[in-house]
Structure 1
């Protein structure tokens, strides 16, 4: 691990930034109700504590515990992590066990073939740090990677499906790095539950089955992927038993030989052959890219909000910067007095988000390649000037990037990338008080649709801007060899008086930023418990159009927000928030839009 020197579609990339946002209307994954309401048999083999946690979630109440807690997107993964915590393992140990199971039972969202960002609070030292396990562009990649022979950006799925979009996976090395730094349990033992489920089989959940059914055409394109998800040409159905002996073999190799077993030798050769041999859309990932991959430890980025510090992942993620900017811009306004049903509160939140996204689109990229005004973007004085723009009675007519203080020229063009990630989030607090927030992804649902070694490969490189320049100015988030694409993943630890007060994060593409900011506001300003904060209706405004969650009370505010000058769209907003609130004890919440639970003791 090294430390850096410094802290859908056809038209979307050919259009100006302000006009491309129709593509953002598509959710990365469809919503799934609490499994006890849809298919109790899918999790019939859960232990009694996990079944009780499902029932608690369905009742709308938070899970309560005293010593430790884990919240994640699938009950089987939560059980694996909970077992580690109950046996005295650390939050880092529990993350490894949970992630390995998530990669099996929720393969469309994350896994060994993807990457992750991790935020860690160390109870012994009182320090926060982050691990960057983001995928990297191959050394053979060039800025023109996603341009056709005429120099025009490729259509989105023409770029995604196949080897061209695959970056060097980071999740295996991140798991090993976190375990080496903070683990207590035996490394090999953390693999046991995932190996057993892969060999003995697990029940296909309604969520996985529905997503396979929606993507059969692309999953059928490559033989290994089709054989696994569409056996005999028929899509897997909810309730089917699915085994993955290839995944078990991969895990056994890693359990015995660590992450090196993934980045060198047989598994690495399989990855390279699969990427470079992808029919119709081969990629340039090489064995050297895998051998050179490393995790980067970076300082956490924190922003003040009320009596708290909201801390998360800095560049190449835009998460902590954008969440921090939204909250910092809202600091002068009394959201608590307005309440969660106030159109005025949502006017302020929506336009604060638009201002943050304008800065995000102009300035944020991998700081190992591009200078980013990190400190200036969350400087309270700068955010106070942005807050002045909100002191009006109507929605802002136009939004432009600001000019945060920086010692470099700010001559970048606006980014033209788009995120459709299929992602997952894990929040953990262990018995020693360590806290972990990790968002993990393979980008689009089922990633590149390429499968090897029992796991899917990411399409993370499509998080780069396909275009390289605009009007002669370079785009900060363009493709470059070895560079990490910008992300919206926002794993967050909210600090109060030097200790964690809330651990939270979500999947959801660029809407992640809004989901996380809203959950923080819901708890801090509106006093909501963990379950209420993750379940409340969503309001998200990134680029001008206010997205309001259909089927909820958010849709009731469409007309009031229209009257305030916003364009509104009532749509599916599929978050996957998992939160733990730290007080006298621990309380946890799991998003009812997905299958996860919070479990503690």
Structure 2
């Protein structure tokens, strides 16, 4: 098998220069039209020499670069950018949700932070039952019962303690200023508001997102959020503690209790929440190390399984949009998702055989199940341990999340994926921010059809399984790629495809994130609607693939270290922007 990886070198003698296309520099210097900015960056490969910020929204990218210009670290810039994303992308992430964070520092190496939400202490196994029946997914996601204890602020605070340079309070300035003066509603936000009629069902979201006639605010409308600004001022002064205790905590508890399908979030749940430093999960792959979050995230372990399986196939010799590439990539996805659904959950509650799942011999045996000319259909989980038994769990995981990647001139790197789960979370709004509905990432029913308990069932204090996959690729102990994506469970094939593009097909970062999406999450083989790969549907069906064409609204954002400098990949499907020096 050919390996197209070229060693990435970054000289310390590189000159300081802002290497941006002229039109991108012009867009960055004024109030941006996000759609224009996205198209501008997507046309040109962006390479910088000193630092890079890549986020899903131009205003967040600008906030991160502003912090770097003030002498802040990548950690500082990532926090400032995230606080802005919570304002301008309220459908995707925010302080009412959670996330997973990777940080690399030259002296201390790679660290990871778990800011995933937890189940309130009063919860029971029948959390998602109503009148003796399992709730519909739609009922569950738009209810107080879906709200987990938010973890993002605690994780950001913990990461800042380890890698921040500027004072915590300074990082809130860009978001506070923007919340006060307002920002223009983008085409994407306008469309998402229109696509979520449930926003009209709750007074706070109706008042913020809709006009007096109940219509979504039009594109270009300046949307202010003075309540969010007040909350940020409080958090800037008093730290994350002000979120988890006091009046703000009381307001969150009251809002969840007042929902028509009330939840059980308590002040004690908020007070007791802790973000966790976790040992990063790494796997050797060729001459590199693939690294990411350990469980309860299934993202990194599944991406690693896919790359580990694919190295035993001829995919590297296939054209990226060919039938062969789609077939092998989809079959690897089936196998990885079968294992994910069976074995991965919160390691504080179940024993996750992560090293066994990534063992070279195990991955080789899984790859041997792939036939070159015929789809396996629905894959079964493997037995990474001799005495292992699995229960099936195909809980949906909805695609409203965001990812950012930041690198500074001192070698610090952040790859961070955050979420409030489905679009606009639970639709419960408190003082200008939305609460998550992450608890629907658990199995809605604790048992499968054979009566076996799911490893990903609801239990008090437990963190739901996630597909978020912030990752870094290391070479000789230094990052050469930092990436991640939103997309629900499709995050796994998005990230795996971008890595396959860069590491196996020798694509640059922008080419890799712009590939038409395809893959399988152990059901149909999915092809991105409206792209060239849909022409392969007939040939795939002839090989036994059940084919489904659908939108794939990813937001994969990449920083890659090359001989030229820091190279950005900005997903053209979102309104993101990369800026650097």
TM-score (norm 2): 0.92
State the alpha-carbon separation in 2 of the partners of residues 514 and 307 from structure 1. Answer: 22
* Residue 160 (structure 1) aligned with residue 141 (structure 2): yes
Deviations 1:46-104 (A, max 9, x none): 379x9996464241x22110111011100000000011112221111011100000000
Q: What number of residue pairs does the alignment pair up?
A: 555
CA contact (8 A) 1:421 1:442 kept: no
State the alpha-carbon separation in 1 of the partners of residues 413 and 477 from structure 2. Answer: 13
State the alpha-carbon separation in 2 of the partners of residues 511 and 51 from structure 1. Answer: 24
* Residue 282 (structure 1) aligned with residue 262 (structure 2): yes
1:515 to 485, 494, 512: 494
State the alpha-carbon separation in 1 of the partners of residues 27 and 309 from structure 2. Answer: 44
For the residue of structure 2 that corresponds to 1:481, the secondary structure is coil
Aligned to 1:109: 92
CA contact (8 A) 1:246 1:453 kept: yes
State the alpha-carbon separation in 2 of the partners of residues 52 and 237 from structure 1. Answer: 17
Aligned to 2:400: 422
**Runs of 4+ that moved beyond 6 A:** 41-44, 50-53
2:469 to 459, 479, 490: 490
CA contact (8 A) 2:32 2:58 kept: no
State the alpha-carbon separation in 2 of the partners of residues 51 and 400 from structure 1. Answer: 42
For the residue of structure 1 that corresponds to 2:415, the secondary structure is strand
* Residue 312 (structure 1) aligned with residue 295 (structure 2): no
Aligned to 2:210: 230
State the alpha-carbon separation in 2 of the partners of residues 389 and 422 from structure 1. Answer: 33
Deviations 1:393-420 (A, max 9, x none): 21114411001137xx533411142101
* Residue 466 (structure 1) aligned with residue 444 (structure 2): yes
1:526 to 482, 491, 505: 505
For the residue of structure 2 that corresponds to 1:485, the secondary structure is coil
* Residue 81 (structure 1) aligned with residue 61 (structure 2): no
* Residue 447 (structure 1) aligned with residue 425 (structure 2): yes
Aligned to 1:347: 327
Displacement of 1:381 after TM fit?
1.1
State the alpha-carbon separation in 2 of the partners of residues 51 and 338 from structure 1. Answer: 33
1:129 to 99, 102, 111: 111
2:385 to 399, 402, 405: 405
Displacement of 1:384 after TM fit?
0.7
Displacement of 1:583 after TM fit?
2.1
Aligned to 2:31: 46
Aligned to 1:590: 570
State the alpha-carbon separation in 2 of the partners of residues 241 and 56 from structure 1. Answer: 23
For the residue of structure 1 that corresponds to 2:134, the secondary structure is coil
Aligned to 1:138: 120
* Residue 361 (structure 1) aligned with residue 341 (structure 2): yes
State the alpha-carbon separation in 1 of the partners of residues 37 and 429 from structure 2. Answer: 33
Displacement of 1:243 after TM fit?
0.6
Displacement of 1:245 after TM fit?
0.6
State the alpha-carbon separation in 1 of the partners of residues 542 and 114 from structure 2. Answer: 43
State the alpha-carbon separation in 1 of the partners of residues 351 and 337 from structure 2. Answer: 18
CA contact (8 A) 1:424 1:507 kept: yes
Displacement of 1:128 after TM fit?
1.5
Q: Root-mean-square deviation (CA), in Å?
A: 2.0
State the alpha-carbon separation in 2 of the partners of residues 397 and 449 from structure 1. Answer: 37
**Greater CA deviation, 226-235 or 443-452?**
226-235
Displacement of 1:332 after TM fit?
1.9
Report the CA distance shift for 1:324/1:120 in structure 2 as closer, same or farther (over 3 A): same
CA contact (8 A) 1:53 1:598 kept: no
State the alpha-carbon separation in 2 of the partners of residues 315 and 374 from structure 1. Answer: 8
* Residue 184 (structure 1) aligned with residue 169 (structure 2): no
Structure 1 unaligned runs (5+)? 1-36
CA contact (8 A) 1:42 1:205 kept: no
Report the CA distance shift for 1:448/1:54 in structure 2 as closer, same or farther (over 3 A): closer
For the residue of structure 2 that corresponds to 1:426, the secondary structure is strand
TM-score (norm 1): 0.89
Structure 2 unaligned runs (5+)? 1-22
For the residue of structure 2 that corresponds to 1:197, the secondary structure is helix
State the alpha-carbon separation in 2 of the partners of residues 46 and 200 from structure 1. Answer: 12
Report the CA distance shift for 1:592/1:158 in structure 2 as closer, same or farther (over 3 A): same
Report the CA distance shift for 1:343/1:234 in structure 2 as closer, same or farther (over 3 A): closer
Aligned to 2:551: 572
State the alpha-carbon separation in 2 of the partners of residues 397 and 514 from structure 1. Answer: 17
For the residue of structure 1 that corresponds to 2:479, the secondary structure is strand
State the alpha-carbon separation in 2 of the partners of residues 419 and 560 from structure 1. Answer: 29
Aligned to 1:393: 373
Displacement of 1:268 after TM fit?
0.7
State the alpha-carbon separation in 2 of the partners of residues 325 and 502 from structure 1. Answer: 18
Displacement of 1:43 after TM fit?
8.8
1:170 to 147, 151, 160: 151
Displacement of 1:508 after TM fit?
0.6
Report the CA distance shift for 1:475/1:547 in structure 2 as closer, same or farther (over 3 A): same
Displacement of 1:149 after TM fit?
2.5
Displacement of 1:337 after TM fit?
1.8
State the alpha-carbon separation in 2 of the partners of residues 208 and 484 from structure 1. Answer: 29
2:522 to 530, 543, 550: 543
* Residue 68 (structure 1) aligned with residue 51 (structure 2): yes
State the alpha-carbon separation in 1 of the partners of residues 286 and 311 from structure 2. Answer: 7
CA contact (8 A) 2:28 2:62 kept: no
**Greater CA deviation, 224-233 or 336-345?**
336-345
State the alpha-carbon separation in 1 of the partners of residues 394 and 372 from structure 2. Answer: 30
Aligned to 1:23: none
Aligned to 2:129: 147
Displacement of 1:44 after TM fit?
9.0
State the alpha-carbon separation in 1 of the partners of residues 399 and 378 from structure 2. Answer: 28
Displacement of 1:273 after TM fit?
0.6
Matches within 5 A, 1:285-304: 285-304=265-284
* Residue 552 (structure 1) aligned with residue 536 (structure 2): no
Displacement of 1:197 after TM fit?
0.6
State the alpha-carbon separation in 2 of the partners of residues 80 and 361 from structure 1. Answer: 38
